[in-house]
Structure 1
Amino acid sequence: MNQRSDRYPLPMRLLHWMRATLILALIALGWAMTALPDSIAAKFEWMYPVHKEFGVLAFMTGAIALFVRHRSGVPPHPGGLARWETTLSTIVQYAMLALAMVVPLMGYGMSSSFSQSDGVPFFGLELPELLPKNDHAFAIFAWAHKTLAYTLLVLIALHVLGALKHRFLDRGRDADVLARML
């Protein structure tokens, strides 16, 4: 298949959809596990450990995506977009890239600093907890993790709505940004 110059390179497209799936699943699991009462054993036996493992995986995938993005570059914005749309798109994309890295780091900070922590598992490995145990720091990390995750979710919704707007409401194919990532 001939790669069009306006499409993102295949590795970037694959990493994009992998990160999108991971992040949305992590947010859903985060909502589910925090809504459960502490008396539910599954909350601590598997939900938190799975959330931590996939959070580390999301961070690693994000780091790889940033490396690939840096090496590959990105195609220019489609010509059919207004200047304000390209500016907003760029801001949202950079903010999502940053938050996709920072949110897992805040989660790691929570696990590492919490005095009652069971550690940070990663698919059979136990990652080192590099921060001192400090429940005040834990509370700050917890607030940042939650607030930034919600911020990321709002940006994801804006990103998806923008892509759908360009795909289905704008006139002409020269504004279809979704085709670049398919």
Structure 2
Amino acid sequence: MLSGASGRVEGVETTTLRPPQHRVSRTARWYWAARAAFGWLVLIAVQVIWLVADGDDVGLRLAALVATVIVAVTHVTVMPLWRYNVHRWETTPEAVYTQSGWFKQEWRIAPVSRIQTVDSARGPFEQLFRLANVTVTTASAAGPVRISGLDRETAQRLVDELTANAQATAGDAT
């Protein structure tokens, strides 16, 4: 747990938006790449079947296939590194900070006093990479705060810490 950036404005404690300090697991890069590659492989397989099955306009379909492969390789190579450099998280006794995205980036702060539930989930693909996601639900209209790509142990410690902090913090969680 790291101390947060906070200050006082006319006797009221404030929390400021700032970059969180912790990165997600390095394994998340491989998870994001594999998940993206799976989607691209499905599209490439469809294009290959179409190329082989229909003899008309082979040149145009081959060009489309080559373009798809170039875009896929670029996406699978660049996106995980970019996301890893952006995705960050941090908790303090007062708040949960997250930063996520790659084209559309989002920074969120969830005050601990507003936490309603803390959940951890692992889908089949995340289990393969030994990763977990933590979801912090608050009364915010913006929806829950999600921290994706954590190793299992870090996710469990985070859930335990946030649950204890939320129980120890006075607030109405609404």
TM class by shorter chain equals: 0.3 to 0.5
Greater strand proportion: 2
The TM-score normalised by the length of structure 1 is 0.31
Q: Which has the larger radius of gyration?
A: 2
Bigger RCO (CA 8 Å, 6+ sep)? 1
